[in-house]
Structure 1
Amino acid sequence: MTELYDIHYPLDENNFIATDQVIAMGYFDGVHRGHQAVIAEAKKKAEEMGLPLSVLTYTPYPGLVFEKKELPWHDLTPIAEKVALLSSLGVDRVYRLNLTSKLAGLQPTAFVQNVLLPLKAKAVVAGFDHYYGAKDLQADMAHLQKFANGAFDVIAVQKQTLGQNDSQKIASRTIRKQLTEGDLEQVTAALGRTHHTTGTVVHGDARGCTLGYPTINIWTPETEFLPGIGVYVVRVEVDGQEVMGMASIGRNVTFGEGRPVTVEINLLDWSEMIYGEPVKVHWEHRLRGEVAFESVDGLIAQLENDEANTRKYFGKS
């Protein structure tokens, strides 16, 4: 099981375990295919050296330290999910270091001496564009070997793209934008898996029952990253089963203005009562945007079309 240590600069070595190890550095939000390439390179190095593989990551998101961001902030992968994904890639330990103004302002030699050496790094691996100190002091991977002064090996992993002819780097910020726009095919390609969120089934207005399309209403933790408003094809893990469905993220604008954003899912071929059950929602494909219908009949006709398209997506009639 992967060990998680929350650490703060300056490091107190009584608060964590460190042995000689290979360290992969990065924020790793989403643990996308670019991050996976970094972990794979670090894993290879760890096996060559016969050492455990660790990840040095940060909290909070670096942008919250360096600039103003809209709150609450939504990571693609909250820490528990990030650790689970890293564990599946063979990571033995995760160090989550508080990214503070003091840490971000360290000269690169101080970062090496006060962070990487106390963690007993024998090799450090990161993406080519990873920074580990004050950016105006050349604290990048290209100069880390010089600052390490032979204390550990350094490996910089080059840019990862979706295809040979694609010049755009796989990046968490791009994935967040694609999720907001509902471009789930690109999100899936970049992550190497579908994006998913979690939640709990709670009571809603029960309006779907009167329309012939009963829905489960999902309370999603505030910090999780939902796709943009729209109607989606989803797979839902619930009560030990995986069920296909069509999900609406929206404000139910047909029934009035100023309504809160909700997540409602019609589970196809499902009739069980599951209030209080935890669920995991896999976001597969965007069907359409949210529409304010002039009549309930118009909404029902659209739902029938959405169901047909959902079944077609899953190859079922």
Structure 2
Amino acid sequence: MKIYRLHYPHEQHELDLEPSAVAVGFFDGLHRGHQNVISKMEEIAEDKGLKKAVMTFDPHPSVVLSPKKQRTTYLTPLDIKLGMLEARGIDYCFVINFSSALADLTPDEFVQQYIMALDIKEVTAGFDFTYGKFGKGNIEMLSKYESFNTTGVGKIAEGEEKISTTRIREDLAKHDLAHANLILGRPYEVKGVVVQGEKRGRTIGFPTANIEPEYRYHLPAKGVYAVSMQIDNEGTVHKGVCNVGVKPTFHDNLERVSIEVHLFDFDQSIYGENVTVHWHHFIRPEWKFNGIDELKAQIAKDKQKAIGLLENL
């Protein structure tokens, strides 16, 4: 997959492009709704003999447009999103820097410079896609251009509610992991590296791998989860129980959230290894216990609960 990182203004003559069909959107999470938009683009590209392309943006537009509600954590950080698109067989990915200058373009200026100038012949986007200054451009306006065709993809819903990145983030924040995974279409995952921690877990019989996320992920809410963890270098996957939180039994004012995974039947040193944690089931919120013995007893219960939940994984 060829990746084109474009700023405003960009040098059009430096790009070596064949005609393409493009799916346009931010696509954070690449959830079932996003997959539907991209699948439609792929169908059109195959039918018309065009390169398959995705156009996305970085950072999230809210960083420029909504300072009080800016989104700086992601379900699929850019590098992860690019890897998933490459694995899907996408030919081109246009990553457009979302800056104040870009946000100030009129809808027509955006189309001229980022659709027509890139030799795009087919545009596919969600029904609610907007572009240009103040978001005044929409699917209907795109469809009026004669140099390319536009296909709007309707709402994909679970029940009566639209599948959206916002809903997944809300689900993760309120421990509704089951629903988040349902509309993602896969277990939520976070990539990271195993780093040195406080090593308190091994002193109480539950050694843990302390995971430092590689990117600015939107983490599941503080609590205990049944997870699986892949050691990327080996390709092996192990089941475990994970605590996301601030360890209130040992710290009164710790603010930095940690991710600690206790793997079942595992006794290896994996410091420095790159890993991927997959969240499968929520078990309970994070609690403060009245001493080590109470904590150990609850961890043992959590482990047994996780073993049962992951039995058929």
TM range (shorter): over 0.9
Using the TM superposition, name which of 271-280 and 12-21 deviates more. Answer: 12-21
Q: Per the alignment, in what secondary structure is the counterpart of residue 118 of structure 2? A: coil
Q: Per the alignment, in what secondary structure is the counterpart of residue 162 of structure 2? A: coil
Q: CA RMSD in A?
A: 1.6
Alignment check: 8 A CA contact 1:293 1:299 kept: yes
CA distance in 2 between counterparts of 1:70 and 1:209 reads 40
Q: What is aligned with 2:191?
A: 198
CA distance in 1 between counterparts of 2:167 and 2:135 reads 25
State the Cα distance separating 1:101 from its structure 2 match.
2.4
State the Cα distance separating 1:102 from its structure 2 match.
2.7
Alignment check: 8 A CA contact 2:62 2:69 kept: no
Q: What is aligned with 1:142?
A: 140
Q: What is aligned with 1:266?
A: 262
Q: What is aligned with 1:60?
A: 59
Q: Following TM superposition, where does structure 1 have runs of at least 4 consecutive aligned residues deviating by more than 3 angstroms?
A: 69-72
Inter-CA distance 226–271: structure 2 relative to 1 (3 Å threshold): same
Matched, 1:235 2:228: yes
Identity among equivalent positions (%) equals 36
1:9-56 Cα shifts (integer Å, max 9, x gaps):
222124433221111110111111111000010001001110111111
Matching of residues 123-162 of structure 1 within 5 Å: 123-135=122-134, 137=136, 139-146=137-144, 148=145, 150-162=146-158
What is the count of residue pairs matched by the alignment?
309
Q: What is aligned with 1:117?
A: 116
CA distance in 1 between counterparts of 2:213 and 2:251 reads 23
Q: What is aligned with 2:45?
A: 46
Among 244, 257, 279, the alignment partner of 1:249 is: 244
1:232-278 Cα shifts (integer Å, max 9, x gaps):
11100014310000000111111130123211111001011111111
Alignment check: 8 A CA contact 1:11 1:115 kept: no
Inter-CA distance 136–98: structure 2 relative to 1 (3 Å threshold): closer
Matching of residues 150-229 of structure 1 within 5 Å: 150-162=146-158, 166-229=159-222
CA distance in 2 between counterparts of 1:99 and 1:245 reads 39
Q: What is aligned with 2:273?
A: 277
1:103-125 Cα shifts (integer Å, max 9, x gaps):
22322222222221111111111
Using the TM superposition, name which of 110-119 and 62-71 deviates more. Answer: 62-71
Q: What is aligned with 1:98?
A: 97
Q: What is aligned with 2:4?
A: 5
Give unmatched runs, 5+ long, in structure 1: none
Alignment check: 8 A CA contact 2:202 2:208 kept: yes
Alignment check: 8 A CA contact 1:234 1:247 kept: yes
TM-score using structure 2 length: 0.94
Amino acid at match of 2:218: F
Alignment check: 8 A CA contact 2:178 2:281 kept: yes
Using the TM superposition, name which of 55-64 and 176-185 deviates more. Answer: 176-185
Q: Per the alignment, in what secondary structure is the counterpart of residue 6 of structure 1? A: strand
Amino acid at match of 1:42: M
State the Cα distance separating 1:76 from its structure 2 match.
1.0
Amino acid at match of 1:254: T
State the Cα distance separating 1:90 from its structure 2 match.
3.1
Amino acid at match of 2:25: G
TM-score using structure 1 length: 0.93
Alignment check: 8 A CA contact 2:58 2:78 kept: no
Among 284, 287, 301, the alignment partner of 2:283 is: 287
Amino acid at match of 2:46: E
